[in-house]
Amino acid sequence: MIELIGTVSVIALVAAFYYWRRFRAFRAEVFIENQRLWRELAQDYRDRYPEEKASTSIVEDALYFSLHSEMREGVYRMAWRNVRTGQRENPLLDQIRRDKAKISN
């Protein structure tokens, strides 16, 4: 009986370790995708408003906004969905570009 409990415990530990490693890699991919989305948004903002000179780099802006913006939860969900589906799209940036095209026409 003790051998059975020991065997089951070892199998459970191996399975938990495998799941933890796999999920950790997924979270890292989501973080990287989140930063990519914020970088695109920061770059687009600077392209639209070149007169507003910033003393920080785009990467610093992206990191700041990913932590302090009101949109951070929505962008994080987009990053999660993009990693889960394997797509690389930014609906917020697409919407901004569509609105910009409407205004210019």
Give me the DSSP letters along 45-95: HHHH-TTS--SS-HHHHHHHHHHH-TTHHHHHHHHHHHHHHT----HHHHH
What does the pLDDT read at residue 2? 65
Structure tokens at 24: 């950790």
Q: What is the pTM of this model?
A: 0.65
Answer yes or no: is pLDDT of 45 > 80: yes
Answer yes or no: is pLDDT of 102 > 80: no
